[in-house]
Chains A and B, each alone.
Chain A
Amino acid sequence: METRLRFKDRIGFFIRSLSLQGSWSFQDMQGMGFFYALSPWLQSVHGELSKSALRRNLGFFNANPFMATYLIGVVSKLEADGRPERVQSAKDALMGPLGATGDGLFWATLRPLAVVFGLCVALFSPFAGIIVMLVLFNAVSISTRWLLLAKGYQNADEPLGYIADRGDQAAISRFSQILAPLLGFLLGSAATRTGIPGSFIALYLIALVLCIRSKKVWPVVCVTLTLTLLLGMLGLRTQLPWFPLN
């Protein structure tokens, strides 16, 4: 059997994996979607789908939708190599790590990062902000989906090893740290251009950062509410380049 996934098969897996959660249910979660992604491959490998092949690949499945393609790659290789007895153990071993890593990486880190970055750009150009947000998130998520398919296929013998060796999440976390200075720069520029005393902003930000660092939510609420209410009372209106007030 080939050691690399053919382009045609890879495209097929990729497109079908987009609807991995298409029939998400509380019973099997993504089980039906996982089977749907694999079914043409299983038919081409086995000719006719046997009951045992159904049993192996149908049923409960839950992983992060962006990283599940890795498992699709692993299972397709195991089925093609005639090692179906390892399919269930590979699914059991990988579902948890792929779910945990993927959720942390995409939902909890990359999505807020893309959103906040998009919001910053949207302050200057609203539609550029939307594009930046979509491109930032989808460039990573789509390429992950695509790459992990091949990686799963190549690492079917030792599937856990590849996932354990990845430092992608750490890299993303490090990347996310540039956000705060970037935003600080933006804020500083705005303050300079508007001539508003920087000390007010500095005080406001210091209070906010201290509150967030101590992980106390209520002080953040109080500080922000008071300041926004005060500013609102003073009649300071939001003014953006594309915001036609005053």
Chain B
Amino acid sequence: MAVSPMVALSAALLGGLVSLDRTAFGQFLLSRPLPAAGLLGVALGCPYQAVFIGMSLELLFLSSLPVGSFIPFNALYPTLIAVTIFAVVDPTNSHWEVIPIAILFALPTVWVDRLVEDLWRRSNDRVVSRAEAFLRLGRYRTAGTLHILSILRGFVLNTGAILVCIWLLAELAALFLKQFPWMPEILSLVGMMPFIVGIAGISAAKVKGFGWAGFAGGLVLGFFVWSGI
């Protein structure tokens, strides 16, 4: 098994906790890729690589806005899973060229992320109906408890989903790198790192109605590509 239960569980628990920040509690931006990656990176012992993953995904999902009832693509799952894949397949933290592969494997989980959020919101319809029934009976505390339990259910749902995704994708990525060990070398030769950030920069530049944000995204990209301080 490529990923140890301890690593998978710690990543999933952190993910479950941080995912609450997305909708259910606070909205302090802790669920954005950069802080989430930094936290998990410290926990798994690869802080700098994790921050790099967080920066790439942050730019890639800059234009996802949670307006009204719309559930945007959120980069929390891909971030946590990419960081875990990197930590698992490269325990020495010396092969930065594994990062694009980790991101590539983790990226499809944006759909899982959205699905879980949708599932949680739909299940809340029943919670609200029950809470209203309790309120009509004068049981205010029970209704309040249901509201809090709904937040806890979000934590459990997200933790479970992240755990399953990590197990599946880390195994898959490890298997892939075992079959194609030359892939990171090729990526290293063609300099895939700036390329990945380049794609992220394009996404940032696509932010609708906010030229400045796109401009800034492009500038960060340019800085990334050219800097050699």
Judged by a CB distance under 8 angstroms, whether B210 is at the interface is yes
Smallest beta-carbon distance A146→chain B, Å: 14
| A120-B220, A123-B223 known; A241-B229 Cβ under 8 A | yes
The reply to whether the CB of A115 lies closer than 8 angstroms to some CB of chain B is yes
CB 8 Å contact bits of B191-216 with A (1 = contact, 0 = none): 11111011101101111011111111
A137 to B30, CA, bound (A): 11
- Indicate whether A193 reaches chain B with its CB closer than 8 angstroms: yes
Residues A129 and B214 in contact, CB atoms below 8 Å apart: no
Contact B191 A237, beta carbon cutoff 8 Å: yes
CB within 8 Å for A228 and B205 given contacts A22-B24, A26-B122: no
**Residue from A179, A186, A209 in contact with B223 in the complex, judged by beta carbons closer than 8 Å:** A186
Interface size for B (C-beta < 8 A) is: 83
Taking a contact as CB atoms under 8 Å apart, the answer to whether B65 and A108 are in contact is yes
Asked if A93 is at the interface of the complex by the 8 Å CB criterion, the answer is no
The answer to the question of B7 belonging to the interface, with a C-beta cut-off of 8 Å to chain A, is no
Is B132 positioned at the interface, with any CB of A under 8 Å from its CB? yes
Closest to A37 in B: B147
Task: Tell whether, in the assembled complex, residue B194 and residue A65 are in contact, meaning their CB atoms are under 8 Å apart.
Answer: no
The interface bits of chain A over 179-208 (1 if a CB of B lies within 8 angstroms of the residue's CB, else 0) are: 110011011001101101000110011001
In the complex, the answer to whether B229 meets A239 with C-beta atoms within 8 Å is: yes
Q: CB-CB < 8 A to A43: which residues of B?
A: 140
Q: How far, in whole Å, are A27 and B125 apart by their CA atoms in the complex?
A: 6
B176 contacts which chain A residues (CB < 8 A)?
none
Task: Please tell me if B144 contacts chain A, counting CB pairs below 8 Å.
Answer: yes
Docked complex Cα distance between A62 and B193 (Å): 42
Q: Which residues of B contact A225 (CB under 8 A)?
A: 198-199, 202
CB closest chain-B residue, reference A178: B212
Closest-by-CB residue of B relative to A110 is B29
> When A and B form their complex, which 3 residue pairs have the shortest distance between CB atoms, in order from nearest?
A228-B198, A25-B124, A23-B150
Q: Which residues of A contact B (CB under 8 A)?
A: 18-19, 21-29, 31-33, 35-36, 39, 43, 48-49, 51, 54, 58, 62, 65-66, 99, 103, 107-109, 111-116, 118-120, 122-123, 126-127, 129-130, 133-134, 137-138, 141, 176-177, 179-180, 183-184, 186-187, 190-191, 193-194, 196, 200-201, 204-205, 208-209, 211-213, 215, 217, 220-221, 224-225, 227-229, 231-245
